[in-house]
A and B are shown apart, each in its own frame.
Chain A
Amino acid sequence: MSEKQNMLITASPQIHGPETTAKIMWLVTLSLVPAGIWGIFVFGARSILVIGVSILASVISEYVIARISKKSTILDGSAFLTGLLIGYNMPAAVPLFIPAVASVFAIVVVKWSFGGLGGNWMNPALAGRVFVFFSWTGGMTTWTMPGTVHNVADTVSHASPLGFIKAGLLDFSGALHGPVEFLSNQGYPHSGMAESIAEWFGNIGITISYTYIDGFLGNIPGCIGEVSALLLLLGGIFLLIRKIITWHIPVAYFGSFALLVWIFGGLRYNTGFFTGDPLFHILTGGMMLGVLFMATDMVTSPITGKGMIIFGVGAGLLTFMIRFYGSFPEGVSLAIILMNIFVPMINRYTQPVRFGTRGSKK
């Protein structure tokens, strides 16, 4: 028969499920889009430039190195995603060479020196961010006040809520009910949106402070893509539904972190144990972006559910330690990178239990 020479011979299975690497990468990218649009909305058009430079530098680096290694990896979307995440991790006012350097470092050093996608043991986007953070700390910590926050004379060079508290607490000795009260006492600005929402809730008898609303919606200074907890959460839920990430890391990370903050967080305000404010800490800083999109990176997180829980708890603990006892206001990126280092060891001790080795359940 003439069809003979056209028939493909492969080992089983002869059919394949719908997933591909590229599909996963582009779906993660898609789930990040709303949070980015919010960032551009509040921080202005310069954010587009920052994100654009990050993506461009990342994709070009990938293309050049893949050419040298005689591989074709541009279309798998991983370099685009790394660039996007780096852009999301930059303040809007950052000098443009910084995201470019971060992207090149992420792709060339972190990713490709270990063999490209799948070979890296550290999340490239986070590693790139941390590299430039320590190299140009000033540029990386100059925050823009969101356009939605009014009554602010100078829109650039305001502290983020976490940075503001870290600095303010250095010579603080009174007793206050947590970070929210601290911020309002010190006259930290808030948005008009928060005022109207708080008023609406006030009418039905619920009191919500401006800080929570601004943190949840993203009306706080911070990196371009990290401020909108709401939209990042929606993106994360989308990934969970599409089974691209599993519940293990987010639950373990948020859970352990929230628990520690609740138990020990109040000590800083001299209100004793079990008075911490986990909600404030989850809604501010890079927590949402880090937990849902960076800690869950497949390549650099453990491979079994058990391992992911250990990884999440470890990252939660480290984030708590850095945020509360370290010298930086932010701890998510460092915590995840530190836990990335433990992944091979975690994998070794959390292999799946083989069928037929547990004794039969009679």
Chain B
Amino acid sequence: MSKLKTFGLGGVHPHDRKSRTNGKPIEDAGIPAVAVIPMSQHLGSPADCTVEVGAKVEEGMPIGKSSGFISANIHSPVTGTVKEIGRVFLPNGTSSQAISIEVEESFSPKSSWKADKNWEELSKEELIDLVADMGIVGLGGATFPLNVKLKVPTGSTVEYLIINGVECEPYLTADHRGMLELTDKIFKGIEILYKIMEPEKVFIGIENNKPDAIKVMSQKASAMSFPTEVVPLKLRYPQGDEKQLIQAVTGREIPSGALPLAIGCIVSNVGTVYSLYEAVVLGKPLIERILTVSGGAIKEPKNLRVRIGTPISELIEKCGGFSEVPEKVVVGGPMMGFAIFDLDTPVTKGTSGILALTLKEVNSSVRTSCLNCGKCIQACPMGLNPTTLFKYIDHQDYDGAKDIGLLDCKECGSCGYTCPAHIPLIHGMKLGKLILRKNQQKQNKVKA
């Protein structure tokens, strides 16, 4: 066997802990009694709420309208009555306007969806508009509105379309199960993307801890009418990041601050591609997603198909509840996810997993002074110097931090995971970026 591809700089090897759920078929999580739908579930400005308290909504009906260039529509995942329009805390600690919908007792999800038009007859522009209507966003974690990504500016060309089946975060197996169980539908989604982007070639990147998925996807890929290749990748975090994945697959490096299009690439997650299929072929908006509920404190870890707006506590109960008191409950993967304080936080479009972690798994320890060991530098996939960045931020020199690349940091967590001194490096990076952004806004105001 030839040498497996991977990215260049840095990276870490946390235990993947996927064996708990990677053999478990996707189950339906059921319908919540009350669905809480935040208006901010995507990158960019929150959607404008289009319903009022007391209104009757139906499954799939638009209830939030895209409010800007980077924003997305939001649809009701259930049939019922709007009980309240208030605010909720999102997993990342910010708050958002949210619509609470009391679900009708007689409600059962529509079993068959059918699009109004055959997608093969639609033009590229019509397809992109349809994606926007259906509120599709990237499900890999960044929740970037898909229609914005699909609009290739004139002058740019897409050479490679890269489908991200890496799922490099430990514990998570939703994409893995999706590739095994929904293979045909994912490939239908890839066909749609191919029609919109017209790339020279399609690559599907999958890490080699999912040999069954590599096999199934390769078989299907060889039967496609356009060049499609499954690229097995060496297990390494953060390979699922756009920049690392492109480098692993094509050897190209995105210039600092640029988009993948600058080097002729577009990356889309398998989960997103599946939602694209549902939206375009079935006319079903993004009201459901697949996620993994796992962690040492969960009794029966599972892969679940979940309605957006379902409270996390209901999913934990669906998985048998806690086997012990968790040290942390995390939304997303353990490397980039958010610890939450309220188990009634709703599932949003970006929720890729729910993890109840034990003290042993969290493995926190006393913070000591920086030893200058340089392990964070060795771990950083962006070639940054995390410890020096942290010192700049600690000394409130945010512009100094910016000069040595703070904005290139994507908070993958490799440095913080490695640091023997247990310095909260990512916490510092997040804070530094936030303050830089605030300072920028202030400056803009003064100028205006």
Contacts and interface: CB of A to CB of B under 8 A. Distances in A.
Interface of A: 1, 3-4, 6-24, 73, 76, 115-119, 298-304, 351-362
7 contacts: A4-B342, A7-B326, A10-B427, A17-B363, A76-B368, A303-B377, A359-B255
Contacts of A4: 341-343
B381 interface: yes
A9 B385 contact: no
A9 B339 contact: yes
A354 B388 CA distance: 14
A21 B253 contact: no
B212 interface: no
A22 B368 CA distance: 9
Contact of B340 (A7, A303, A353): A7
B14 A10 contact: no
B74 interface: no
Given A16-B417, A16-B422, A20-B420, A355 B382 contact: yes
Interface residues of B, number: 74
B362 A15 contact: yes
B256 A357 contact: yes
B328 A10 contact: yes
A298 B375 CA distance: 10
A353 B371 contact: no
Contact of A119 (B263, B322, B369): B369
A12 B383 contact: no
Contact of A13 (B8, B252, B369, B413): B413
B374 A304 contact: yes
Contacts, number: 184
B80 interface: no
Given A12-B426, A352-B384, A17 B418 contact: yes
A15 B405 contact: no
Contact of A14 (B258, B335, B380): B335
Contact of A351 (B334, B338, B404): B404
Contacts of A362: 252, 263
Nearest to A351: B385
Contacts of B263: 360, 362
A299 to B, nearest CB: 5
Given A4-B341, A355-B383, A21 B368 contact: yes
Interface string B357-372: 1000111111011111
Given A15-B14, A20-B422, A354-B383, 9 more contacts: A11-B426, A12-B416, A14-B339, A17-B12, A17-B14, A20-B365, A20-B366, A298-B374, A356-B408
B371 A15 contact: no
A277 B9 CA distance: 39
Contact of B387 (A18, A19, A23, A303): A303
B255 A303 contact: no
Given A11-B426, A12-B426, A14-B328, A118 B421 contact: yes
